[in-house]
Structure 1
Amino acid sequence: MTATELRPRRDPSRATGPRASPALAVRARRARFWVAIGAAVLAAVVIALIVLGSGATGGAALGPDNAEQGGAKAVVQVLRQQGIRVVTTSTLAQTRKAAAVAPDDTTVFVYDASGYLVRSTWKQVAGFGSHTIVANADQTALDVLAPGTQAGAADLKGTLSPSCDLPALAASPKVNGSGVRYTSTTPGAVKCLPAASGGGYGLVQVSRASHLTTVVGTTTALTNASVADDDDSAFALRLLGDSPTLVWYLPSVTDLPAGTGTLASLTPGWVTPSIVLLAAAALAGAVWRGRRLGPLVVENLPVVVRSTETMEGRARLYERNSARMHALDQVRIGTLGRLASQLGLSRNASVDDVVLRSAALLGEDPRRLRSLLVDTEPTDDRMLVSLSDGLRDLERAVARMVRDR
């Protein structure tokens, strides 16, 4: 038999590389679930940001730089091509400064979608330029800019016809009427674009002194999505281009008065859907993977261990390691606690208190009792037993004296 034949053969079924521990494998399997959940939540948040992300630059509704369907970039670009000077602003101070350059030749377009402007702010807006156009105005803005005008409860829908002779509607026999309807009891108010049913108008124009205010409810006609439909482009360009300068004002959080505003008004629109989505994902994960407690089951203990066995086991450990001092300390601690209880001392009483009270009761020398209770160290097993017996006798003597008093 050759040397090669004498070598042990290698079992090919056995792994040659390092093997992962079972605990590590279990943790890896559990981690896969949470990694998948995290990836799904991240993907959902990204989708929500894309779909609902109106907080991005230029992404606001009727935003002059927003090229999405709800923006108004197309109208603004065409106005600029026709020679209209369009100035975009986002604060009241910027708007005031832009309108002050040529107030008699300036139209101010305002769309306060988030309700940042209050009554006092609208009063300031009313003094900017010669013509103020308000899109989807709330009742606060109407009370200041067009008293006697009210917003209807139902929305406008469908295609509307002018029914008035405003220049802005001269070339627009059909206008997309989606938006807010208004009614007005103001004397001399011009009401255009009547609703097909239910009453109300898509445009109301009020003239006071030398200032003109136009309330526009058909805001869909100004957006990129509808500006090419029907006669919306002519309507948007004639309405917004009646002055050489157009200030396009979208209020922001900066315009809120000090001490006002809520968390909802100060956060972008995508925050709330994202929080709801994260909470739903966390709840789904908890329900799926959470531990479920079933009914209580009564089980018999596998074994009953007597207290004496525990004590004897500890004693054998002390004996095996020659831990005489440690064993004696355990006996002394128990003796001091029982002596303090018998002598009426508190649980926080010191060793000296126990020694002095015991010595006074027994008429013994405190130094001898302290040596027994604390100081003396056993040098062999015989001395350990002797000290243990002394502690027992001391405890019995104290108990007898207390009982006989």
Structure 2
Amino acid sequence: MTLTHDAPPSASTAERPPRAKRIRTLVGWLVVAALVIGGAVLMLRVAVSAPAWRDALDPEGAGDTGAMALAEILRDQGVEVNVYRSRTEARAAIDDDTTLVMANPVSLSDDGVNELIEPADRVVFLSAGTHLLALLDMGDSAPGSSEAVTARCDVPEFAKTGSIRPDRLFSPTDGVEGCFGDSDAAAVLVDDEDGVRRSVVDGARLFSNAYLAENGNAALGLALLGQTDKVAWYVPSYDDTDIEAESPETLGSMTPDWLTPAILLLLLAGVAAALWRGRRFGPLVAETLPVTVRASETMHGRARLTAKAADSAHAAEALRDGSRRRLARRLGLAVTATPDEIADAASDRLRIPRGTLQTLLAGPLPADDPSLILFARQLTELETSIDASRTMPDTHTEDPRDR
């Protein structure tokens, strides 16, 4: 018989499983790190490449409501377009060969608007509200349809514009030229006075990126904004407003500065006093009453007073009131049942003629002690009869006299 022994595992074989486990763990962490880094890079690229949100008719807005397309067309025609978001910088950039362009400056006060447009020889408002039209004294809003219209005015820049479909029409005042419409309602208002031209048009639909290629919209934009070598395009915003809002007076603003510290000091003093005095009171102690008065003693005392006063009617009324309350409860009536209702219910229960008990429960009260004793005995007998009728079976047969 030959004995064989298994050879002991070598050192390399014993170390192989732990090393493979470490390699798998390392590969897993590398995969996780690669996913995290890839996600971060992707998010960064999306954040960098995503267009920033801009307001309507913003020359740097690439969305449907922006006006980047019009700004690029002007640059292709050799016009230098500079975008300003500060009214101070926009005003400083205006010279004799510059057209100032802006949407309705609702974030500026009347003085701020006048100060901004004062040095400009050509000003184009791409949108306007009723207040701005009144400030410029150029007209008012007018009703009208969005049918295609041509210039129909003497402004030479609009001779080759073609037709447009305006979204809003204006009614020009005296001395203001109305184009693309008629004398009552026009899409473009032009005011030439003392060598200064001010134009108003609602360009939200005409000059936005989504509609610039329709009809003669692009030609109209070039005619309005491309007559000078430079365009100073001001973008109004509430970050650049000169309107100072006045906050309404509140209770806090009208309160003196010393009142709040005084109230806090009084509260602290009250808390300190409560803690100081509260520790002197000690725990509550239960005290036994020196005298205990039983209810029966109270009843007997009131009875003796009534007997001493010889007030039989008062005593009878107290007895009848208690009896009526007990009878109402035993007869299943409400607490607010009248004496007549109690008497009728008791008569039905005892099978006696109706009206027999009205005198007892609602009639005149006894005037002397013998009558009081008889009255109390009758009330007791009535209550006893009602109790007995509740436990006895109903063996009553119809009496011919009840018919």
Give the greater-gyration-radius structure (CA): 2
TM-score bucket of the superposed structures, by smaller chain: 0.3 to 0.5
State the TM-score, normalizing by the size of structure 1: 0.47
